[in-house]
Chain A
Amino acid sequence: MFGSEKKTPPFLKRIVSAVVAAASAACLALGAVTCSAEKGKTFTVGFDAEFPPYGYKDDNGEYVGFDLDLAQEVCDRNGWELVKQPIDWDSKDMELKTGAIDCIWNGFTMNGRESAYTWSTPYVNNSQVVVVKKGAGIDRLSDLSGKIVAVQADSSALAAFTGAEAEEENKQLAESFSELQQVGDYNSAFMNLESGAVDAVCLDYGIANYQVSSRGDAFVMLDEVVSSEEYGIGFLLGNTELRDRVQTTLLQMLDDGTFMRIADKWELGSSVCLSADSAYIDSVNSDIEKQSFGSLLGEISGELAKGLLASLSIFILTLVIALPLGLLISFGRISKHKLLNIPLTIYISIMRGTPLMLQLLVVFFGPYFVFGIQTSASYRFIAVIIGFSLNYAAYFAEIWRGGIQAVPRGQYEAAEILGYSRVQAFFRIGFPQTVKNILPAVTNEVITLVKDTSLAFAVAYTEMFTIAKQVAAAKTTILPLFIAGLFYYVLNFIVAFVMNRLEKKLSYFR
């Protein structure tokens, strides 16, 4: 941590260094840099690793970018060690508050956030622009009426449309959209755009430039801009000491030409605006009204309740489809026909062996990127249900199979002697006992499913946890995540209660 040089008595040093050596690996993984007292100061930069050209992972797996190069130069000149800490953008305030990072240096928009951080002077002038697919017939902002427009969650583009300080003109523009779709990252936004799931993406000029030039000429940028804005380096409110040192170093770099050299390297020469005479925007805290805890709680719960409906519909539809589908698949698995047995075994192996998140992406983007089929906007929800059902059916199939095979053979023989047909024997004798056998395992899966619904964010389907993350970012508090946790817990408590009652009801004498 910056400014935390400690004096350690010599007799303790040996013990400490042993401990530090052991702990440093863990510290690195956590992104914490508090155990650096021995090795001089570190300077931890928090950034979104999917934000080229400001900060991203290059082909060699290294974190690189304009901002990271600047930060490296600043550290070199101050004798600090640079720690590049990729963060979840929604959690940036938490990271800063807990001291896990020293600053947010990542194409960080100042406008609208002036009083939330201690800022450097702006160093990049960036505007919000709109990118569309070439030949889509969208030439100006007014053409976006009735279209689906994607923005990154908690991005400046979103703030420009719906934020508290959004211009009236932009608010009306956003109203005219058929939908303002929030996506997790720009890669996903452009996959959505390419597949036709959204009609336009609104994003920062620098990123738009980078994305359009690196993705070939399939996309065009509109000439009209939604808003103009500036980037600065955000420090924890009140940390002027660190801000001043970084700022001074930056101005030195501007003087000797290093700053422009780095800007040109990243083709940002035209958008940088650092100058010695721009004044600090110093934080004015007075206009942030303090909300009472009760009203905050109520507001957050109200927001989450909307998402709960989306989560519940995923949950219920998945159960209704996956349970019978799993039973059918288990028949095929038990069957001795190789044509049924082998493909189903492979299917189950793949479904259980790969992440559900990946399967959702494949189901959602597959139709376009594999078969070239344009999907409609409502396909997002359908894809979520298909993905979840296919995945859960695989698990349920194996549970069903275990349950069916656990019914003693003698039961079927007795049924045969009594004159049941094979189908009758299964549904009247085998099936009721199978249901009893599988209940505990099914309860496990159902509870996991309740929590897994949050994975729908992978295809930008807005369910409860996505909303919780968005509200947490907007209100800069971790509270929504805990309330969401409480909602999941209550839901699962009900599930466990119902399943427990069912188990008791079926616990006849054996």
Chain B
Amino acid sequence: MAQYNTTELLKVTGIKKSFGDNEVLKDISMRVGESEVISILGPSGSGKSTLLRCLTMLEKADGGEMYYCGERAMYTENGRTVFAPKPELKRIKSYFGLVFQNFNLFPHFSVLQNIIDAPYRCSAGTDRRSKRKRGSFLRR
């Protein structure tokens, strides 16, 4: 695993996103360092969720560049948005999490399963059967 760039956990430059004729994100650039808490404020429909969805790659931005911990997750080539290659992207995606507005818990999972699924998936790697490992996540 590549060394974390801790001074610059997230860096984006020139993010653009439109829905049809409606240009929502116009050239957004920002950076997030370690231990920083950033709030994005704005009226309803101003693009807060769209920005977060672009950053978490649930939505494909129309342009710009995006780095997580110094690794390039997205860039623009000849006017088209390109994501990093799949294995790399999978690793990059494990660097961040997202808490949804309406939680989106999995109703068919138990409470325990809902809590441990994220850290378990992100770091358990090959040791998928280890109950103790799951337990240790809980104790933390």
Contact = CB atoms under 8 A, between A and B. Distances in A.
Interface string B91-124: 0011001101010101110000000011001100
Contacts of B108: 432-433, 436, 506, 508
Interface string A402-439: 00000010110110111110000000010011001000
B90 A508 contact: no
Contacts of A506: 108
Given A413-B58, A418-B117, A408 B122 contact: no
A11 interface: no
B93 to A, nearest CB: 6
B56 interface: yes
Nearest to A414: B104
Contacts of A408: 104
Contact of B58 (A417, A433, A510): A417
A417 B107 CA distance: 17
Nearest to B98: A417
A509 to B, nearest CB: 7
Contacts of A510: 107
A435 B118 CA distance: 24
Nearest to A413: B58
Nearest to A420: B121
Contacts of B106: 411, 414, 429
Contacts of B98: 414, 417
A419 B100 contact: no
Given A416-B58, A418-B118, A419-B122, A411 B104 contact: yes
Interface in A462-510: 506, 508-510
A417 B52 CA distance: 12
Interface in A315-373: none
Interface string B66-109: 00000000000000000000000010011001101010101110
Interface string A434-453: 00100000000000000000
Given A417-B56, A432-B108, A433-B108, A410 B122 contact: no
A414 B121 CA distance: 13
Name the residue in B97, B108, B121, B122 with the highest tally of chain A Cβ atoms < 10 Å from its Cβ.
B108
A458 B101 CA distance: 57
Given A417-B56, A418-B117, A433 B107 contact: yes
Given A418-B118, A419-B121, A419-B122, A413 B93 contact: no
Name the residue in B93, B98, B100, B104 with the highest tally of chain A Cβ atoms < 10 Å from its Cβ.
B104
A87 to B, nearest CB: 55
A419 B97 CA distance: 10
B100 A410 contact: yes
B126 to A, nearest CB: 15
B69 to A, nearest CB: 16
B117 A508 contact: no
Contacts of B122: 419
Nearest to A419: B121
A433 B107 CA distance: 8
A414 B107 contact: no
Given A413-B100, A417-B97, A419-B93, 7 more contacts: A411-B106, A413-B104, A414-B98, A417-B56, A419-B90, A419-B121, A510-B107
Interface of B: 56, 58, 90, 93-94, 97-98, 100, 102, 104, 106-108, 117-118, 121-122
14 contacts: A410-B100, A410-B102, A410-B104, A413-B58, A414-B98, A417-B56, A417-B93, A417-B97, A418-B117, A418-B121, A419-B90, A419-B94, A433-B108, A506-B108
List 6 tightest A-B contacts by C-beta distance, closest first.
Answer: A414-B104, A410-B104, A432-B108, A417-B98, A419-B121, A413-B58
